[in-house]
C-alpha cells in the first residue's frame, strides 16, 4: 500500500507540474517553396526526444519547434541538416550551430560536389541553382534532383564560399571530397 501511495504521489506531482519547460527554436531563411518542403522539415523533427510542435511557414520561410534543452534543439538542427534544410537557428535568443558541411575554407578547387541537398521539386532545383549562379568563377551548375546532389564547376572555387552561397539560399549539404568518392 505504501508503494502505491508513493507512485500516485509521483504521478500527481508530474501532472501538477506539467510537462518539462520548453524553449522555442526558430529557423529563419529556410528554402520552403512547397508543401513537400514543409512536410519534409516537419517529419525530420518528429520522434526526436525533447522536441515537440514542429511547424513551418512557407510565406516567411520559417521553421519552428519546441525543445526541452539546448541539446534537444541541436538534435533538431542535425535532423533538418540531414534533410538538406538550412537557416539562421535560434534557441530562444541563443544562436545554434549547424553541423559541419565538410567545406574547407581557402580550399580552391575546379569542382565542388555537394550531397544531401533538399531538392523535392523543380522550385527547389531552381532555388538552389539561383543561390549558386552568382558565385565568382562558377561556369557550370548541375543539379541532380534524384540523387540530391549539386556539382559546381569553375575556376578556383572556394569550397566554403560555395557552401555559404547555398546556405544563404536556405539549403544545407555536405561537400564530397575526392577521398570520399573512392
pTM of the model: 0.86
Write down the CATH number for the domain with range 108-181: 3.30.70.100
Q: Residue 133's CB: how many other CB atoms inside 10 A?
A: 11
From CA 169, how far away is CA 100, in angstroms rounded?
A: 17
Q: How do the domains of the chain map onto residue ranges?
A: 10-95, 108-181
Q: Residue 19: its pLDDT value, please?
A: 61
97: left (phi over 0), alpha (psi -120 to 50) or beta: beta
Based on DSSP, count helices (H) and strands (E) in the chain, helices before strands.
Answer: 6, 9
Sign of CA dihedral 166, 168, 171, 172: positive
Per-residue pLDDT of the chain (182 residues; tens, 9 = 90+): 544 444 444 444 444 445 679 999 999 999 999 999 999 999 999 999 999 999 999 999 999 999 999 999 999 999 999 999 999 999 999 999 999 999 999 999 999 999 999 999 999 999 999 999 989 889 999 999 999 999 999 989 999 999 999 999 999 999 998 654 44
CATH number of the domain at 10-95, out of 1.10.10.10, 3.40.50.740, 3.20.20.70, 3.30.70.100? 3.30.70.100
Taking CA atoms, 71 is separated from 46, 75, 97, 102, in Å, by 16, 6, 11, 22
Q: Residue 178: its pLDDT value, please?
A: 65
φ and ψ at residue 113, rounded to 5 degrees: -110, 125
Q: Residue 179: its pLDDT value, please?
A: 53
Q: Residue 177: its pLDDT value, please?
A: 82
Amino acid at each position: 500500500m505504501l508503494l502505491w501511495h508513493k507512485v500516485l504521489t509521483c504521478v500527481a506531482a508530474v501532472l501538477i507540474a506539467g510537462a518539462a519547460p520548453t524553449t522555442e527554436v526558430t529557423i529563419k531563411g529556410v528554402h520552403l517553396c512547397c508543401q513537400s518542403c514543409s512536410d519534409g522539415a516537419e517529419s525530420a523533427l518528429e520522434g526526436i526526444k525533447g522536441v515537440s510542435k514542429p511547424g513551418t511557414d512557407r510565406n516567411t520561410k520559417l521553421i519552428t519547434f519546441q525543445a526541452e534543452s539546448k541539446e534537444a534543439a541541436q538534435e533538431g538542427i542535425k535532423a533538418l541538416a540531414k534533410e538538406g534544410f538550412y537557416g539562421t537557428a535560434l534557441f530562444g535568443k541563443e544562436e545554434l550551430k549547424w553541423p559541419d558541411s565538410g567545406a574547407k575554407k581557402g580550399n580552391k578547387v575546379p569542382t565542388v560536389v555537394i550531397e544531401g541537398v533538399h531538392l523535392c521539386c523543380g522550385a527547389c532545383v531552381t532555388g538552389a541553382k539561383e543561390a549558386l549562379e552568382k558565385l565568382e568563377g562558377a561556369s557550370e551548375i548541375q543539379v541532380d534532383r534524384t540523387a540530391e546532389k549539386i556539382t559546381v564547376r569553375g575556376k578556383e572555387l572556394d569550397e566554403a564560399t560555395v557552401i555559404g552561397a547555398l546556405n544563404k539560399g536556405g539549403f544545407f549539404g555536405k561537400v564530397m571530397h575526392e577521398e570520399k568518392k573512392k
